[in-house]
Amino acid sequence: MTSLPTLAALAADLDAGRTTARKLVDQCLANIADQSGEGARAFIHVDAEAAIEAAEAMDRLREAKAAPSPFAGIPVSIKDLFDIRGQVTRAGSRALDDNPPAEIDAPAVARLRRAGFVVIGRTNMTEFAFSGIGINPHYGTPKGAWQRQVGHVPGGSSAGAAVSVADGMAHGALGTDTGGSCRIPAAYNGIVGFKPMQRRVPLDGAVPLSFSLDSIGPLARSVACCATMDAVLADEPLQSLHPRSVAGMRLAVPTTVALDELDDAVAAAFERALERLANNGALIERIEVPEFLDIAPMSAKGGFAAAESYAWHRYLIVAHGDVYDPRVRDRILRGESQSAADYVDLIHARKSLIARAGVRIAPYDALVLPTTANTPPTIAEMADDKAFTKANLRALRNCTLINMIDGCAISLPCHRDGEVPVGLMLAGIGGSDRRIFQLAAGMEDIIRG
């Protein structure tokens, strides 16, 4: 999947004395500082001194046989949406520059630290997480891993998070996912991204986009890497991940909405992955999911994201609206025109959607669908507002289906080496997180053939 090491490989090297936490941090810092790389755009802030001190502390604890976990000392990046004690949380914006530094870590950050992971820095993101493309006019836009000399978008909103992992500037990343913000950048950069059931990880200490849809998840290099980070984030015991055999898997391909207007490369990679799964014994059924047709009308006035983000931003926009990315500000302001009745209708409609979709999906182990309808466009193309809007909607569409039904999902690379990155999404109803990891672990090598 990648020549860079997995968390398990790094843990084994640390345990055997083949490397140290200090060496891992030094290498990540060197990769960030490389003038020919994307570190200056992937990161908003790098706290090298604190990372080195934490790494050396983990090395001493490991020498004393007191490391808090096998992963102690491994560097990870944190999306700029999260509070880190002593730092200002800017959420990829300039509108929060005057905010005081956070007094405590967000629970998600604190749990990673408690397991011994080393925070290497804060990653760049779409301002206030409001786009699936990853453009940021304030801090620059990191180029995605595909054809870097051309300059393709990294995907958003966890843009720097994905690039940090793909480029060896961190070995895992903390992201958020409201409509695909872990899975889209993972798909665009050829790595793995996981969106858990929303209630799995506390949202405290993270700037909200939509408190009804926001989820906190990892981006990493393998299914097992994401499963490890997810267990830490969910405050669950670390346990081995046992892959499910592909033979006998019952997988449903939703033909409603999810397969519409796919780029040729996406369609080809997805169908090839399905063929390989079927050849290995998976039972694949193409089904209609008419519930998915309800989602676009529910979002016609901006949906939950516009309504709930406007509630959070309405005073900040009055004070600092001139420094917002205009595209982000305009999307937030759509919430101003929604009435209380509109919002109540939306809540009831989603409750019904979740119940009906759950019944539809229940007979299957998981849904399988393309993560995005498109491949990553170039950064230059996104200067045009119409092109940006179209690309953004196509990037978000399939992932949003799962957020709206309160499900969990993982994006796996399914392209061949040298091809444009394409993600395959495996999704289930809320609470099926562990099963999704087991299924994904069983198929991740098969679908890359």
Q: ω before 157 within 30° of 0 (cis)? A: yes
Domains of the chain: which residue ranges? 7-233, 250-411+426-448
Helix spans in 167-298 (H): 183-189, 223-233, 264-279, 295-298
Is 79 a residue of the active site?
A: yes
- Residue 1 pLDDT > 60: no
- Cα–Cα dist 50/32, whole Å: 15
Same fold, 7-233 and 250-411+426-448: yes
Degrees, nearest 5: CA angle 351-352-355 = 90
Tell me the pLDDT band of 300, cut-offs 50, 70 and 90: very high
The position carrying tokens 């665009």 is 188
pLDDT tens digits, one per residue of 349-382: 999 999 999 999 999 999 999 999 999 999 999 9
**Predicted confidence (pLDDT) per residue in 50-77, tens digit:** 999 999 999 999 999 999 999 999 999 9
* Residue 180 Ramachandran class (φ > 0 left, ψ -120 to 50 alpha, else beta): left
205: which 2 tokens? 């200490």
Give the other-Cβ count within 10 Å of 201's Cβ.
Answer: 25
In this structure, are residues 442 and 277 in contact, taking their beta carbons and an 8 Å threshold? Answer: no
Q: Give the model confidence (pLDDT) of 190-244 as tens digits.
A: 999 999 999 999 999 999 999 999 999 999 999 999 999 999 999 999 999 999 9
Q: Which of 77, 164, 181, 222 is catalytic?
A: 181
Of the candidates 87, 69, 74, 65, the one whose C-alpha atom is nearest the C-alpha of residue 27 is: 74
- pLDDT in the model for residue 3: 83
Number of H helices, E strands in the chain: 15, 11
CATH code 3.30.56.10 for 7-233 = no
Q: Please state, rounded to an integer, the average pLDDT across all residues of the chain.
A: 97
Contact 231, 439 (CB under 8 A): no
User: Which CATH number among 3.90.1300.10, 3.40.50.300, 3.40.190.10, 3.90.120.10 corresponds to the domain 250-411+426-448?
Assistant: 3.90.1300.10
| DSSP one-letter string for 212-246 | TT-EEEEEESSHHHHHHHHHHHTT-------PPPS
Which residues, including other chains, have CB under 8 Å from residue 200's CB and lie 6 or more apart? 215, 216, 230, 233, 234, 408, 433
Choosing from 77, 93, 131, 157, the catalytic residue is: 157
Mean pLDDT of 166-185: 98
Please state the rounded mean pLDDT for residues 424-434.
97
Q: Are 74 and 11 in contact (CB under 8 A)?
A: yes
Q: Kindly give, in sequence order, each residue whose CB lies less than 8 Å from that of residue 384, ignoring residues fewer than 6 positions away.
A: none
SS (H, E, C) 402-437: HHHCCCEEEEEECCCCCCCCCEEEEEECCCCHHHHH
Question: Does residue 162 contact residue 185 with C-beta atoms inside 8 Å?
Answer: yes
Specify the pairing of strand 366-370 against strand 408-413: unpaired
